[in-house]
A and B are shown apart, each in its own frame.
Chain A
Amino acid sequence: MDVIGQGVKEGILLILSLDPELIQVTLLSLQVSLSALLVSGLLGIPAGTFLALKDFAGRKLILNIIYTLMGLPPVLAGLIVFLVLSNRGPLGEWQLLFTPSAMVIAQVLLGFPLVAGLSARAVMSQRQEAYDTAVMLGATRTIAILSIIREARMGIIAALTTALGRLIAEVGAVMMVGGNIQGKTRVLTTSIVLETRMGHDSRALGIGIILLILAFIIMLLILKLEKRSFKDDSTIQII
């Protein structure tokens, strides 16, 4: 079981070596997952807010569908996007298969339900008083809704961090629609799969460590960006 120690060592050496290929792979991982997160957020937060605040026929059904899709298997998302973007698929002419754009699309399919569903939950947990207070202070409906989103931001940030965690660690979808092409669509997770298949277990573990460190840094940055909110939200003391 020396492999684990070796892997940790190799991971550290890999980071220190600043291997250009690995840097490129890491940057692509970040680029794909952050782009997908951005799109998921831009679509998912408004969608979740809308579903939380607007009562209309079919709302429950849509919410339930979104909650279900929160557990969409990445491979299935990948397969769907693959079939749509394939030369035989309806959007084949776009020639997007095996490009980072396709990977972003597949990841949005995974990220959007997560952001929308969790944002909806966060907004729904806000009380009527928040809206009443805003409009009684002369806020327009839009401003009042923005204020509710602001009040729900802890939950929405949690939604975004959860989504990012899922996207950056996800391998099934990017493998299928990206194709793991060296220098083009290879990301950290697909590298781990490849290295494992080639029997380079310690190198695979090393790349895994980089992935973990990356996730850790991103979480730290998000926490720092929202430091004020988190400071206000002091922990419950259990005596």
Chain B
Amino acid sequence: MQKFRNHKLLSFLLIMAMLLSVFAIAGCQQQEEPAPQQQAGDKAPTPEDPQLTLATTTSTQDSGLLDVILPDFEAKTGYQVEVIAVGSGAAMSMGESGDADVLLVHSRAAEDEFIAAGHGVDRHDVMYNDFLIIGPAADPAGIKGGNDAVAAITQISESEAIFLSRGDESGTHKKELSIWRAAGIEPSGDWYNSVGKGMGDTYRMADEMQGYTLIDRATYLANKGNYSLEPMVEGDELLFNPYGVIAVSPEKYPNINYEGATAFIQWIISDETQALIAEFGKDQYGQSLFIPDAK
């Protein structure tokens, strides 16, 4: 009898678990339904092909920038933007295969190659965010307050102060390597810690180890309340991370939404949108996360 009752209990639990899963999935689907676009109103023009695919990097999506500025674009032009947030490299290969209409990416050298190869047209600068070198308040390398990244890392290397590298071939890691290259230093030794982790984890480790590291401003601002590291060097052009917008070549893929891409480019480099970008983040962090630089 005991055994039989156990079976009943087990079946009951299984059924409950299945029901819960069904509700959970249903709940998720509801959340995924797009909210109605109220701003669109009556005045919004109706484009021939309102579907526009934007391939961009995770940073624009994760920082919340797109959520803030895209509704303005959709309201003004009537386009529906489908955002695909991936790495810069992956975003560009989507453009290369005609799976996206317009790209918003940050990898200057690769962007130029992309244009040269005929995959894209109409490249424009949009904005940049920047990196900064942060480090312990004690500042054993004596670099605080400077604005020369090369000089700073040279001093870090010479004083063999603890430095943490992302070491994961990410954009930030590549940026760091380019600074070392500019300084003509091959970093190695006990003080140089290649941790192979994401930015958040690297920040946490650097704080524990009281070491220097290169960090993007958005991650720094979002987490600085939890940690004791202070900004050391910022403002060097080497530390900038420029974002460009590119339309995918209509000659190569005649059926892509080139009209929509052009509208997007015109909108994002417009003074009004640039002002929106400049405002973004100020209310939360007291400073801009992205600095507009469209000419």
Contacts and interface: CB of A to CB of B under 8 A. Distances in A.
Given A182-B167, A194-B168, A197-B168, A87 B195 contact: no
Nearest to A88: B208
B169 interface: yes
Interface string A172-196: 0000000111111010001101100
Contact of A98 (B167, B169, B205): B205
Interface string B210-249: 1000000000000000000000000000000000000000
A87 B205 CA distance: 11
B169 A97 contact: no
B167 to A, nearest CB: 6
A55 to B, nearest CB: 28
Contacts of B194: 181-183
Interface in B150-209: 167-169, 193-197, 205, 207-209
A186 B196 contact: yes
A157 to B, nearest CB: 34
A203 to B, nearest CB: 12
Given A180-B197, A182-B194, A190-B196, A98 B209 contact: yes
Q: In the complex, which range does the number of interface residues on chain B fall in?
A: 10 to 19
Contacts of A136: none
B168 A181 contact: no
Residue among B169, B194, B195, B207 with max Cβ neighbours from chain A (10 Å)? B195
A31 interface: no
Interface of A is mostly: loop
Contacts of A183: 194
Nearest to A87: B208
Contacts of A86: 208
Nearest to A197: B168
Q: In the complex, which range does the number of interface residues on chain A fall in?
A: 10 to 19
Given A180-B196, A182-B195, A186-B196, A97 B168 contact: no
A137 interface: no
A194 B196 contact: yes
B208 A182 contact: no
Interface in A74-125: 86-87, 97-98
A28 to B, nearest CB: 14
Contacts of B210: 87
A97 B207 CA distance: 12
Contacts of A97: 208-209
A61 interface: no
A179 B168 contact: no
A98 B210 CA distance: 12
A239 interface: no
Interface in A181-225: 181-184, 186, 190-191, 193-194, 197-198
Contacts of A184: 193
Nearest to A89: B208
B80 to A, nearest CB: 31
A121 B105 CA distance: 59
Nearest to B87: A199
A84 to B, nearest CB: 13
B195 to A, nearest CB: 5
Contacts of B169: 198
Contacts of B193: 98, 179, 181-182, 184
A183 B167 CA distance: 12
Contacts of A190: 196
7 contacts: A87-B210, A98-B193, A98-B209, A181-B194, A181-B195, A182-B195, A183-B194
Given A87-B207, A182-B193, 17 more contacts: A87-B208, A97-B208, A97-B209, A179-B197, A180-B195, A180-B196, A181-B193, A181-B194, A181-B195, A182-B167, A184-B193, A191-B196, A194-B167, A194-B197, A197-B196, A198-B168, A198-B169
Top 6 nearest A-B pairs (CB, nearest first) are A182-B194, A194-B196, A181-B193, A198-B169, A180-B196, A179-B205
